[in-house]
Amino acid sequence: MATELEELLDFLSSPSPPIKKAAVSIVRDYTGSEDGLRSLGKYSSTAVPSLSNLLAEKKEVSEPAAEALVNLSQNRDLAGKMVEMGMIKTIMDILYKQDCDITHLLVMLLVNLTQLDVGIESLLQNGDEKMRGLYIMKLVRSFCASSNERKGDPFEHVASILVNISQKEAGRKLLLDPKRGLLKQIIRQFDSPSALRKRGVSGTIRNCCFEAEDQLQNLLLISEFLWPALLLPVAGNKIYSEQDTSKMPLELGSALSIERETVSDPAIRIQALDAIYLLVLQEAGRRAFWSVNGPQILQVGYEDEENPQVMEAYERVGSLLIQEGGASEASTQES
């Protein structure tokens, strides 16, 4: 005999719109508690496909279905089952249908699913040579398009997806591929007023810099955008003279020569300093850093810094520059 929950899940596929609407709302409410999540988890093989089938319906049904799936996907085991069931393809197909009313929720679902390796692999489409990277290119394009203020910023959480995928080598290589130009597009979103976008862009840059040993040239190809994104958050409050900024990229020099709003989020400042550290570990990265007056900018920024964790990140970069500068000087004297 079917349990009460099994009967409820059966109603999700009812031909009667009012019954279906009532059933999906109840299921959504179930997922709002730990007990409800545990109970539904036992029927995931039925619940997930049934809810997934409702995502393409009218908003009154698709919205609670998407909310239920977002809640369920916070459980790693259930998220893994969703990926196995092809949820990422379903999401991407619906996300790019005309007049999608649940964009924000579908993006949130992708955030949760890409916290798993299998979810990242599915979104990168690593199993299909011809399609590889297509989903990411679509998401980056949507992320970088100006948001419609009336509808908010439905693609804002793509920032978190980019951080997730860039934690894996395959994701970093895709973002750093100069033919696709994805990282260049992403970096330009650092000017966004959205704190979530800023932190996501900063975290993605940092993760991509873990490829600096093999991909430094590709990183430096976009240096006119890269250095401002990394140095402005850690530059302090000083207004630089024309002499100071003369060798800097135009965007960086222009920003430093006027009064500016400081980046208040310490996580962003730490991410920027981590990325700089990874770049200056490479000889060509150090040369590029010196060429934009990077050491002086960090020195000034350090003097204005009050957060102990951020100060520690400054000191890590500074000790590397001093160490390498001393080694270089010793080498010159020997020759």
Instruction: Give the pLDDT score at 335.
Output: 38
Distance of CA 104 to the CA centre of its chain: 15
Question: 228 burial class (0-12, 13-18, 19+ CB within 10 angstroms)?
Answer: buried
Can you say whether the dihedral through the CA atoms of 44, 46, 49, 50 is positive or negative?
A: negative
Walk me through the domains of the chain, giving residue ranges and CATH numbers. 1-124 (1.25.10.10)
Please write the tens of the pLDDT for every residue from 313-326. 999 999 998 876 54
The pLDDT value given to residue 246: 83
Q: Residue 300 has what pLDDT?
A: 92
Positions of the chain with pLDDT lower than 50, given as ranges:
1, 326-335
CB environment 13-46: b (16+ within 10 A), e (fewer): eeeeeeebbebbbbbbebbeeeebbebbbeebeb
Are the beta carbons of 6 and 46 closer than 8 angstroms?
yes
Rg (CA), the chain: 24
DSSP 124-144: HTTT-TTTTTHHHHHHHHHHH
Q: What's 97's DSSP letter?
A: S
pLDDT digits (tens, 9 = 90+) for 181-237: 999 999 999 988 899 999 999 999 999 999 999 999 999 999 999 999 999 999 998
55's CB contacts (< 8 A; 6+ apart) are 62, 65, 66, 69, 90, 91, 94, 102, 106
Residue 243's pLDDT is 83
